[in-house]
Amino acid sequence: MPLCRRCNAVVDAKQREFCVNCIATKFFKNETWIGFLISDTSVLLDPPVHRLLIDLFKEGSELSCTDAINWQNIHDNWDKPF
């Protein structure tokens, strides 16, 4: 199985070079205002925040696999560069 270029998670063939967690992180940081608001990444682990972020992701991303998002992975890798 191929691995994500950013976090080394297993990548689905449809996702190409990044896993769904890194795709979601890139979306939140680069295509929404979320990246500017998060100063404490522990907020990424709160279920009410998940619902808000999932709604944003569904609205603006071509991916619909939000059930596969691993919030701990997003939290742990938030500051890694792309």
Residue by residue, what is the 3-state secondary structure of the chain? CCECCCCCCECCHHHCCCCHHHHHHHHHHHCCCHHHHCCCHHHHHCHHHHHHHHHHHHHHCCCCCHHHCCHHHHHHHCCCCC
pLDDT at 7: 94
For residue 78, give the amino acid letter: W
**Prediction pTM value:** 0.83
Domain chopping of the chain, boundaries: 24-77
Give pLDDT tens digits for 45-69: 999 999 888 888 888 777 667 778 8
